[in-house]
């Protein structure tokens, strides 16, 4: 028999549009490491990597669940104690909720994917902020729906431009994504803006998808539920143990569907999709009730640590000639802007920074900003002394880069 020609097996087209720059850029960092340079990873928002510890009572709850034999499949919507705890937490935050409208998910991420899949398909639009958390654009590309990007404005503390949101609404609009507190900008939104966004969803009858994974990490204390100002507006909220409970690897999250009966079919659709993946991580879900009902003292300490790092980040980045940065009010991200010469992109700047210094940030265009605008995202979870050293390195690199050296 003649030898068979072996060619590469093709990948489905949809993979091309599934872009998640926060992790995609790690391939570049690995090359830099292979060349012998130490890389400082400021790309992924994982507090555990930077020495923040998962609370012991949550680790014990998962251990206990495993020892007690809770290792089988769970109900696809999740175990009742977790769903009840989520419903209670929503209600405390100002969003009336019942356990039958909660689904336990593998992180906020799976909740987002389930909801978008249940809501939108080819030819449909979903309103998404720019800059955005890139999972939204990636999932919408995968399911063939379009992103209608609305502006958030660095000159106004990265608040959404509500008039722009309104101008993008068409009969094809299926949902409005709101990330408050925000990644990548670290912004929290004003009561007026939240109310206006809720009213748009209510009037135009599409769900507001409220990504509230950072709600407990605003430096001034937890922010209230987005749905609070109008609990009858169609809102689906998402969160997890990843950030505020310092357990991102557990993939323990939830979504909760607002009380409006307009959302009943969507809830049924989400549950139907959830049946297909059987359940989320079983033992980890046993930590959800202890997290939401138990001791949260770690959060106050975490918020203090974040504020200290945010202050340092803000003052040190703004001291660099050519860089401006808006003060974050939550989470562990800042979105500075470097004034780039014509023809140079944010990716050029970030990759040159990586190759020259080993400091890994993510270019703004990975979050949907214009490559020429020069935004990049910094994760400021490292200890303050380390961060100060990193900002010295960024300052020196930027001076050289903008002077045309090393480009
Ligand atoms: C805005 C936002 N939503 C969702 C997620 C995903 O979180 P989870 O670990 O709960 O899937 C992240 C993670 O960084 C995020 O920043």
In the numeric block, which tokens belong to residue 124?
């449909």
Q: Is the CB of 213 under 6 A from ligand 1?
A: yes
Same domain for 21 and 91: no
Long-range pairs, 198-201, Cβ under 8 A, ≥24: 198/226, 198/227, 198/229, 198/230, 198/233, 198/235, 199/230, 199/233, 200/162, 200/165, 200/166, 200/169, 200/176, 201/176, 201/233, 201/234, 201/235
Summarize the confidence of residues 133-147 as an average pLDDT.
96
Q: Are 286 and 84 in contact (CB under 8 A)?
A: no
Tell me the per-residue pLDDT of 245-277, one tens digit each, with 9 for 90 and over.
999 999 999 999 999 999 999 999 999 999 999
Please provide residue 49's backbone torsions phi and psi, each rounded to the nearest 5 degrees: -60, -25
Summarize the confidence of residues 331-341 as an average pLDDT.
97
What is the predicted pLDDT for the residue at 178? 98
Ligand 1 centre distance from Cα of residue 139 (Å): 13
Summarize the confidence of residues 8-14 as an average pLDDT.
91
Same domain for 115 and 29: no
Q: Is the pLDDT of residue 160 over 90?
A: yes
Tell me the per-residue pLDDT of 116-131, one tens digit each, with 9 for 90 and over.
999 999 999 999 999 9
What is the predicted pLDDT for the residue at 206? 98
Ligand 1 centre distance from Cα of residue 242 (Å): 8
Name the burial class of residue 87, with classes exposed (0-12), middle (13-18) and buried (19+) by CB atoms within 10 angstroms of its CB: buried
CATH of the domain at 43: 3.90.1150.10
1 is a domain residue:
no
407 is a domain residue:
no
What is the predicted pLDDT for the residue at 4? 77
What is the predicted pLDDT for the residue at 72? 96
Ligand 1 centre distance from Cα of residue 183 (Å): 8
Q: Tell me the Cα Rg of the chain.
A: 22
Residue 322 — left, alpha, or beta (φ > 0 → left; ψ -120 to 50 → alpha)?
left
2 is a domain residue:
no
In angstroms, what CA-CA distances link 219 with 7, 158, 238?
54, 16, 20
Q: Domain total for the chain?
A: 2
Nearest to 259 by CA among 228, 223, 288, 289: 228
Q: Are 280 and 105 in contact (CB under 8 A)?
A: yes
Q: Is the CB of 253 under 6 A from ligand 1?
A: yes
Q: Are 227 and 209 in contact (CB under 8 A)?
A: no
> pLDDT-derived band of residue 164, with 50, 70 and 90 as boundaries?
very high
Q: Is the CB of 242 under 6 A from ligand 1?
A: yes
- Distance (Å, rounded) from C-alpha 239 to C-alpha 209? 11
353 is a domain residue:
yes
Same domain for 236 and 127: yes
Q: Are strands 359-360 and 40-41 parallel, antiparallel or unpaired?
A: parallel
260 is a domain residue:
yes
Summarize the confidence of residues 195-223 as an average pLDDT.
98
Question: For helices 297-318 and 384-402, what crossing angle results, to 10°?
Answer: 30
Atom number, ligand 1, closest to the C-alpha of residue 111: 11
Considering 293, 319, 336, which residue would you say is the last residue of a domain?
Answer: 293
Ligand 1 centre distance from Cα of residue 213 (Å): 6
204 is a domain residue:
yes
Q: Is the pLDDT of residue 23 over 90?
A: no
CATH of the domain at 199: 3.40.640.10
Q: Is the CB of 133 under 6 A from ligand 1?
A: yes
Considering 240, 273, 293, which residue would you say is the last residue of a domain?
Answer: 293
Same domain for 172 and 260: yes
Query: Which is it for the CA torsion 92, 191, 363, 134, positive or negative?
Result: positive
Q: Are 22 and 223 in contact (CB under 8 A)?
A: no
Atom number, ligand 1, closest to the C-alpha of residue 182: 1
Q: Give the whole-number percent of the chain exceeding pLDDT 90.
A: 93
Same domain for 140 and 81: yes
Same domain for 381 and 306: yes
What is the predicted pLDDT for the residue at 17? 84
Same domain for 91 and 32: no
Q: Is the pLDDT of residue 179 over 90?
A: yes
- Distance (Å, rounded) from C-alpha 39 to C-alpha 21? 17
Q: What is the 8-class DSSP label of residue 218? A: B
What is the predicted pLDDT for the residue at 195? 98
Same domain for 343 and 241: no
> pLDDT-derived band of residue 405, with 50, 70 and 90 as boundaries?
confident
Q: What is the mean pLDDT of the chain?
A: 96
- pTM given for the model: 0.96
What is the predicted pLDDT for the residue at 407? 64
Summarize the confidence of residues 35-52 as an average pLDDT.
93
344 is a domain residue:
yes
Q: Is the CB of 105 under 6 A from ligand 1?
A: no
Q: Is the CB of 108 under 6 A from ligand 1?
A: yes
Q: Is the pLDDT of residue 138 over 80?
A: yes
Q: Is the pLDDT of residue 21 over 80?
A: no
What is the predicted pLDDT for the residue at 6? 87
Query: Which is it for the CA torsion 142, 283, 285, 45, positive or negative?
Result: negative
What is the predicted pLDDT for the residue at 237? 98
Q: Is the CB of 109 under 6 A from ligand 1?
A: yes
Query: Whose alpha carbon is nearest atom 7 of ligand 1?
Result: 108
77 is a domain residue:
yes
- Distance (Å, rounded) from C-alpha 68 to C-alpha 71? 8
User: Range of 236's domain?
Assistant: 56-293
Q: Is the pLDDT of residue 313 over 70?
A: yes
Q: Are strands 376-379 and 362-363 parallel, antiparallel or unpaired?
A: antiparallel
Range list of β-strands (E), 212-280: 235-240, 253-257
> pLDDT-derived band of residue 359, with 50, 70 and 90 as boundaries?
very high
Q: Which of 22, 109, 218 to mutate to test ligand 1, by most ligand atoms within 8 A of the CB atom? A: 109
Q: Is the CB of 206 under 6 A from ligand 1?
A: no
> pLDDT-derived band of residue 406, with 50, 70 and 90 as boundaries?
low
Ligand 1 centre distance from Cα of residue 26 (Å): 18
**The residue to which tokens 């507090």 are assigned:** 47
Q: Is the pLDDT of residue 3 over 90?
A: no
- Collapsing DSSP to helix, strand or coil, 33 comes out as helix
Query: Which is it for the CA torsion 124, 161, 244, 237, positive or negative?
Result: negative
């Amino acid at each position: 028999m003649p030898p068979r020609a072996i060619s590469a097996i093709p990948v489905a087209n949809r993979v091309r549009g599934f872009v998640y720059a926060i992790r995609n850029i790690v391939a570049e960092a690995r090359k830099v490491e292979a060349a012998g340079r130490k890389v400082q990873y400021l790309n992924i928002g994982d507090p555990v990597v930077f020495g923040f510890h998962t609370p012991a009572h949550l680790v014990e709850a998962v251990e206990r669940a495993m020892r007690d034999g809770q290792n089988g499949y769970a109900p696809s919507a999740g175990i009742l104690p977790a769903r009840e705890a989520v419903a209670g937490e929503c209600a405390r935050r100002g969003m009336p909720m019942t356990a039958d409208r909660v689904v336990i998910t593998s992180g906020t991420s799976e909740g987002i994917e389930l909801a978008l899949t249940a809501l939108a398909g080819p030819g449909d639009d979903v309103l998404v902020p720019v800059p955005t958390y890139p999972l939204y654009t990636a999932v919408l590309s995968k399911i063939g729906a379009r992103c209608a990007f609305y502006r958030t404005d660095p000159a106004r503390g990265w608040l959404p431009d509500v008039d722009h949101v309104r101008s993008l609404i068409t009969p094809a609009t299926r949902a409005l994504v709101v990330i408050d507190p925000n990644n990548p900008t670290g912004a929290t939104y004003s009561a007026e803006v939240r109310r206006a966004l809720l009213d748009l969803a209510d009037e135009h009858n599409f769900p507001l998808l409220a990504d509230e994974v950072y709600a407990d990490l605003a430096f001034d204390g937890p922010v209230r539920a987005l749905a609070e100002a109008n609990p009858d507006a169609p809102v689906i909220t998402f969160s997890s143990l990843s950030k505020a409970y310092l357990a991102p690897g557990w993939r323990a999250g939830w979504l909760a569907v607002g009380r409006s009966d307009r959302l009943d079919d969507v809830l049924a659709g989400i549950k139907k999709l959830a049946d297909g993946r059987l359940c989320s991580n079983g033992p980890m879900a046993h930590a959800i009730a202890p997290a939401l009902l138990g001791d949260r003292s770690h959060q106050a300490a975490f918020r203090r640590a974040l504020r200290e790092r945010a202050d340092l980040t803000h003052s040190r980045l703004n001291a660099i000639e050519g860089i401006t940065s808006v003060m974050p009010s939550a989470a562990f991200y800042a979105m500075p802007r470097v004034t780039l010469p014509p023809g140079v992109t944010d990716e050029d700047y970030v990759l040159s920074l990586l190759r020259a210094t080993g400091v890994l940030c993510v270019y703004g265009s990975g979050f949907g900003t214009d490559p020429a605008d020069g935004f990049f995202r910094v994760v400021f979870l490292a200890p303050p002394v380390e961060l100060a050293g990193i900002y010295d390195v960024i300052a020196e690199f930027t001076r050289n880069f903008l002077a045309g050296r090393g480009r």
